[in-house]
Amino acid sequence: MTIPEIPKDFIVAITGPTASGKTRRAVSLARRIGAEIISADSRQVYRGMDLGTGKDMEEYGDVPVHLIDICDAGSRYNLHRFLGDAAKAGAEIAARGRNTIVCGGTGLYLESLLKGMRLPEVPENKPLRARLEKHSYPELMEQLRTLRPGLKVTDVDTAQRAVRAIEIELYYRSHPDAERQAYEPQPLPGVIIGVEIDRDSRRRRITERLDARLDAGMVDEVRRLLDSGIPPENLIYYGLEYKFLTLYCIGQLTHDEMRSGLEIAIHQFAKRQMTWFRGMEQRGLHINWLPYDLSEDEFNTRALEIINRSL
């Protein structure tokens, strides 16, 4: 198929749940259309967190990828920083005359980027945090729903994130210009292609990938991070692999407890991802789903047809 003339500000997004093979698809399509990739993964930004985040850097080969390994492990990356970093990377890619593919499974990042959301910097409110830290997660969520009726809670899944969300909402109440900037976005031109995988295949691939990464030294990776001086609670904050492996490394879980608990958590995470993607569609972002088991040529051909129709 003839490759369409794609405007340089047009974003091709490739997403899907964990273990769907979206990175491989993004790399193949990038080679086909002369694109560079911006990662939309909230944990792959951290250096030294490789096996646990599934970076699979060898998959990219000669295709440039951005927003991977840009922060120290133990620090806190966020949506505000992602939007700024993604905008900068996209502008640099366009200046080189290349197309942009955004690939990742962090639905909040992807949706916010495509909707053109611009988030003002919200400073830390230490007195507020001190008061909120005394409350339980359900109490925090009740306060947050009062501030934002109809809140989607998929990405506010810890007490720490709920505290930050309340902090932001209260800041917006006293800074209406910042609130308008955050909640009156200007959508970016683009198209979303989702890699669709049935539940049984997804579960099988998650289990196979987990065992492969454990065999490849994922426990040793976490031990190295702990030995480098990163406090256990900082790694636990990242959730999933880093939560369960850290608890194992500090003696709070047996190996069997870690392995079984982590497998369940990853399955639950993939389910939450699919819930977010369905919500994206309900909120007006259409996802063009393609089967995960298409051949490379067939996937690219159908992806190009979708892009053509969207231009």
pLDDT tens for residues 221-265? 999 999 999 999 999 999 999 999 999 999 999 999 999 999 999
Q: Give the model confidence (pLDDT) of 263-308 as tens digits.
A: 999 999 999 999 999 999 999 999 999 999 999 999 999 999 999 9
**Contact by Cβ (8 Å): 213, 51:** yes
Measure the CA–CA gap between 303 and 308, rounded to whole angstroms: 9
Average pLDDT value for residue range 114-125: 88
Residue-by-residue DSSP string for the chain: -PPP---TT-EEEEE-STTS-HHHHHHHHHHHHTEEEEE--SSTTEET--TTTT--GGGTTTS-EESSS-EETTS---HHHHHHHHHHHHHHHHHTT-EEEEE-S-HHHHHHHHTT---------HHHHHHHTTS-HHHHHHHHHHHSTT---TT--SHHHHHHHHHHHHHHHH-HHHHHHHHS--PPSEEEEEEE--HHHHHHHHHHHHHHHHHTTHHHHHHHHHHTT--HHHHHHT-HHHHHHHHHHTTSS-HHHHHHHHHHHHHHHHHHHHHHHHHHHHTT--EEEEETTS-HHHHHHHHHHHHHHH-
pLDDT higher at 158 or 75: 75
Say how many CA atoms lie within 13 Å of 87 toward its Cβ: 15
pLDDT-based confidence at residue 70 (cuts at 50, 70, 90): very high
pLDDT-based confidence at residue 148 (cuts at 50, 70, 90): confident
Torsion of CA 125, 156, 169, 38, to 10 degrees: 90
Residue spans of the domains in the chain: they are: 11-118+185-310, 126-183
pLDDT-based confidence at residue 185 (cuts at 50, 70, 90): confident
Q: Give the model confidence (pLDDT) of 10-57 as tens digits.
A: 999 999 999 999 999 999 999 999 999 999 999 999 999 999 999 999
Q: Which of the four CATH numbers 1.10.260.40, 3.40.50.10860, 3.40.50.300, 1.10.20.140 does domain 11-118+185-310 have?
A: 3.40.50.300
Residue-by-residue DSSP string for 255-292: HHHHHHHHHHHHHHHHHHHHHHHHHHHHTT--EEEEET
Please determine, for residue 152, whether its predicted confidence score (pLDDT) is greater than 70. Answer: no
**Contact by Cβ (8 Å): 125, 159:** no
Q: What is the pLDDT of residue 118?
A: 81
Torsion of CA 300, 301, 307, 310, to 10 degrees: -150
Q: What is the pLDDT of residue 204?
A: 98
